[in-house]
Chains A and B, each alone.
Chain A
Amino acid sequence: MEYELKLEQEWLWILLPPEVDHYQADRIRTAVKQKMQEQYVKYVVFDFRNTVLMDSSGIGLITGRYRELAVRGGQVYVSHVSREMQKVLTLSGIYRIVTPLEQVMTSGE
């Protein structure tokens, strides 16, 4: 299973692969940067529905996008984070800067 990128207006949706390590993160980063040159992106969603493993390289991938979007008032979201993946994400402190998309959806926005 490969990663997938989908652009929809100001939203970039990233479907992450089953394992996000340094090797995968570098490939995804390159593709994301290219996509973000095609169109003005303000919101990024990292979709974890297929992801069962991620190391700190994946964290770097996410924080890098946050930094890029923060300067333009954008936001980074994560979605479909499994219980196994919660551990790594929580440990990294990433929830200080990203929001689960599910939370935003149910808040009635």
Chain B
Amino acid sequence: MGNTNEMMIEFDAVGENEGFARVVVAAFVSRLNPTLEELSDLKVAVSEAVTNAIIHGYDPKLKHAEENQEAGETPAAVTDHDTVQLRVCIADHTVTVQVKDHGCGITDVPQAMEPLFTTKPEEERSGMGFSFMEAFTDQLLVESEQGQGTCVTMVKTMGARDGQDD
């Protein structure tokens, strides 16, 4: 009865792929005919989740790895295994996005989700990532295990208009 569709990709945990992740999700949900605002909101939420996976999940400082960082460049993935998994499921007009990393995990999830809380104030992180995810989606679930990784699940209804059938 319902239209379902699902996709999953895995990519290197590097900054360049934040834009790529946004584009991929936007393309996949486009057939739902979302409003511009819904699409924009979802892209920002995805951007936040993917960024968290890259800069926190695989924080180079925690890995004690050598940083060959030039000014302005994002550190490259340190090993072959620093990847982010992005999964999008569509069921009718409900979009579920899952961003998963197998990085260091979050020690205190409620604390991490407090508005303005950040473990990286020195890097000018605003601490608003989770707040933005919450504001721009209908549901947010954060599951994490220290040393194992983090999975962020966001649900958003898109392209649903009253009394209209696709």
Task: Report which A residues bind B (CB closer than 8 A).
Answer: 19, 21-23, 26-27, 29-31, 34, 52-57, 59-61, 63-64, 84, 87-88, 91-92
A87 CA / B36 CA spacing, docked (Å): 13
Interface segment out of the listed B2-10, B39-47, B57-65, B82-90: B39-47
| Chain A interface SS verdict (over half) | helix
Contacts A22-B15, A26-B15, A63-B124 aside, 5 further interface pairs with beta carbons under 8 A come to A22-B51, A23-B15, A30-B71, A56-B132, A88-B132
A53 CA / B19 CA spacing, docked (Å): 10
B132 near A23 (CB under 8 angstroms)? no
Within B66-96, the residues touching A (CB, 8 Å) are 71-72, 74
Q: How many residue-residue contacts, CB under 8 A, span A and B?
A: 74
B124 near A55 (CB under 8 angstroms)? no
Shortest distance in angstroms between A83's beta carbon and chain B's nearest beta carbon?
A: 9
B19, B22, B44, B132: residue with the most chain A Cβ atoms closer than 10 Å: B44
A56 near B128 (CB under 8 angstroms)? yes
Chain B contacts of A53 at CB under 8 A?
22, 40, 43-44, 47
Shortest distance in angstroms between A60's beta carbon and chain B's nearest beta carbon?
A: 4
Q: Is the C-beta of B113 less than 8 angstroms from some C-beta in chain A?
A: no
A56 CA / B123 CA spacing, docked (Å): 13
B19 near A60 (CB under 8 angstroms)? no
Task: Report which B residues bind A (CB closer than 8 A).
Answer: 15-16, 18-19, 22, 36-37, 40-41, 43-44, 47-48, 51, 54-55, 71-72, 74, 123-129, 131-132, 135
The 3 A-B residue pairs whose C-beta atoms are closest, nearest first, are: A23-B15, A64-B124, A56-B128
A sample of 14 inter-chain contacts (CB < 8 A) reads A22-B15, A22-B51, A23-B15, A23-B19, A29-B124, A56-B48, A56-B127, A56-B131, A57-B125, A57-B126, A60-B126, A84-B37, A88-B44, A92-B126
Closest A residue by C-beta to B14 = A23
Q: A53-B22, A55-B51 are in contact. Are A23 and B16 (CB under 8 A)?
A: yes
